[in-house]
Amino acid sequence: MTDSQKDSAATIVFGSRDSKAAIESGAAFAPKFDADGLITAVAVDAVTGTVLMVAFMNEESLRLTLSLGEAVYFSRSRQRLWHKGEESGHVQKIVEILTDCDQDALVLRVDQKGPGACHTGYRSCFFRSVSVADNREASLKTIYPAKEYDPAAVYKA
């Protein structure tokens, strides 16, 4: 992101969280960031509704997402802004952003560019289902027939 893009994003005005009634039924967007300054963001395919990934945003990344029209997260592991697709090209164009009753979570309806959202090569990060066997071991089964791309060809490092 350029400084100009960051300056523009900083001008967006959020509402106040003073009143529970206003948060639940008012017209102001007043997102709640947790003790670490983060809000949960669930990216879903705008056409199919499939959940692609779950990530987090800090206030700056949420402002940039609204301003740029592309998903910008905050990477907890790298502790920095993460413009999704910056390395892979698999950017997420924002179609619509939804918030929930207490405004502490977001759903991003996105147009996922490229073959997939997941760095492992699958379309969605949620490519496995959980089951508990008779011996009480919880195990995983891949629910997609195949990967969409070869991660090694996309992610260097």
Residues within the interface to a copy of itself (CB under 8 A): 11-15, 24-29, 40, 42, 44, 48-51, 53-54, 66-67, 96-101, 105-107, 118-120, 122, 125-130, 132, 135-141, 143
Of all helices (H) and strands (E), which one includes residue 1? none
Please, which residue, 10 or 80, has the CB nearer to a copy of itself? Answer: 10
Helix (H, G, I), strand (E, B) or coil at 91: coil
Please, which residue, 4 or 25, has the CB nearer to a copy of itself? Answer: 25
Dihedral sign computed on CA atoms, order 52, 128, 40, 98:
positive
Smallest distance from the beta carbon of 156 to a copy of itself, in angstroms? 18
Smallest distance from the beta carbon of 46 to a copy of itself, in angstroms? 12
Of all helices (H) and strands (E), which one includes residue 20? helix 20-25
Smallest distance from the beta carbon of 12 to a copy of itself, in angstroms? 5
CB 54 within 8 A of CB 60: no
Smallest distance from the beta carbon of 26 to a copy of itself, in angstroms? 7
**Closest alpha carbon to 30 in 109, 83, 106:** 106
Please, which residue, 76 or 80, has the CB nearer to a copy of itself? Answer: 76
Please, which residue, 29 or 149, has the CB nearer to a copy of itself? Answer: 29
CB 38 within 8 A of CB 74: yes
